[in-house]
Structure 1
Amino acid sequence: MTPEDALSALRAQSDPERAPGMAAYHKTDRPCLGTPNPAINDLVKDWRQDLSLPERTALADGLWQSGVFEARIAAAKLMTQARMRPSDTAAWDLMLTWVPEFDGWAIADHACSALSRRVMADLTRLDTLEGWTTSDHLWTKRAALVAALPLARLSIPKPEEIAARERVLGWAAGYTQDGAWFIQKAVGWWLRDLSKHDADRVRAFLETHSVAMKPFAVREASKYL
């Protein structure tokens, strides 16, 4: 499977009449094919079954490099896997090259979903995410929280996971001083998901930091309290 073959498959499942609406909804200047998400999922499922991890990584790289909106979504989906054997180093390294190119929430969220699996596989990778927290690039800064989101969703975290969660909450505390909508939304999202498992910790966070947060972010964080 070459990137050209994969792009042809995406085009074959596309509806060109949908493309302008998709581009407008996602506020992207990237080429859009009009391929619906269920079709992308079906194609990626077949590719994952047929390709080895090195082959999938190479295909994801090629799809990403195409710059096509749906191709970048497919690339991220190809890399979204909890366990990778024998090594996930190449996949991790590849995805790190994507982060500076994030330019919208849809591609960023799909890529962060893949990145988050690699973070949970090796929590020392939080060191990399911490470097993103001071980035001037909105989507890189946001990705630090979104790629660490599984830590907020643990029902029975291990001690090292609790420590990691507190580390990310420290980043979130700093983010409350940033008024950008997508940054505030990420803080609210993180706290909302954490509140399902540790409501008291979220209440304590809000007691200290809600004054700096936008009202919509506080509402988001408090949704399940």
Structure 2
Amino acid sequence: MTLPGTAEEALALLEPHAEPGKAEEMLAYHKVPRRYLGVANPVINDMTTEWRRALTLEQRLSLAEALWDTDVHEGRLAAAKLLTQARIRPDAAVWALICRWVPDFDGWAVADHACIAGQKRIMADLTRLDEVEGWTVSDHMWSRRAALVITLPLAKLNHPDAAQAAARERVLGWAAGYVADREWFIQKAVGWWLRDLSKHDADRVRAFLADHGAQMKGFARKEASKYLA
């Protein structure tokens, strides 16, 4: 197995897996002007899994930072995947790097991969919600959206403890503040969060919709209600 030491080496390992015409398809689909290699997500998963196992945390942090800064689509996905791990100790530098990426979010695909890495760090330390709360009032729409995407695991808990239940309510408060936001991606994120919560606490979602559903766009309300009887 060849391990990359630099972002350029990592991209060189990914590039041979590019599929003809896929880079152009990805640009047309994502509509975010940056370089696309045309490498499928499962390939990036497999390669970054190997790198994550073999590299030290310090090496992964350095490589992830460099890959993100290339602004290559697959490079940014790989950067996020290098840091997607439930148990990382110490993890303060990982959390700080993910937070540094948030203002760069400009599309759902890259943002969601970075947020999945961030979800692990949130669940490892719920006090990080204090920093995430600042994103909810950002002028940057993708930062506001990230506050909900990065906290999705809280919606999926069957038996939250007291701290997790309080954190869940805190995020629902943010969601309530978002219902008047007309941005499609914000409305989608609210619906998504409520939809996932409805599988574990349907009554809480019904109460939210009773209080705020009239302000939500129809598609978001429908999304939130998808699994309600």
Please give the range of the TM-score, normalised by the shorter of the 2 chains.
over 0.9
Give structure 2 stretches of 5+ with no counterpart: none
SS in 2 for 1:136: coil
Asked if structure 2 preserves the Cα contact closer than 8 Å seen for 1:188 and 1:217, the reply is yes
Q: 1:17 aligns with which of 5, 12, 21?
A: 21
How far has the Cα of 1:28 moved from its partner?
1.1
Q: 1:162 aligns with which of 162, 165, 169?
A: 165
Residue of structure 1 equivalent to 2:210: 207
Residue of structure 2 equivalent to 1:72: 76
Distance 2:160 2:130 in 1: 19
Distance 2:155 2:12 in 1: 38
Per-residue deviation, residues 88-147 of structure 1 (Å, max 9, x unmatched)? 011111111100000000000000001111011000000011000000101001000111
Pair 1:153 & 2:125 matched: no
Q: Post-superposition, which runs of at least 4 consecutive aligned residues in structure 1 deviate over 2 A?
A: none
SS in 2 for 1:7: helix
Counterparts of 1:29-48 in structure 2, within 5 Å, are: 29-48=33-52
SS in 2 for 1:140: helix
Going from structure 1 to structure 2, the CA distance change for 1:105 and 1:210 (only over 3 Å counts) comes to same
Pair 1:143 & 2:143 matched: no
Asked if structure 2 preserves the Cα contact closer than 8 Å seen for 1:16 and 1:33, the reply is no
Distance 1:104 1:185 in 2: 14
Residue of structure 2 equivalent to 1:132: 135
Residue of structure 2 equivalent to 1:182: 185
> What RMSD, in angstroms, separates the aligned Cα atoms of the two structures?
0.7
Distance 2:15 2:205 in 1: 45
Counting aligned pairs with the same residue, the percent is 62
Distance 1:7 1:181 in 2: 33
Give structure 1 stretches of 5+ with no counterpart: none
How far has the Cα of 1:207 moved from its partner?
0.3
Number of aligned residue pairs: give it. 224
Name the TM-score, length of structure 1 as normaliser.
0.98
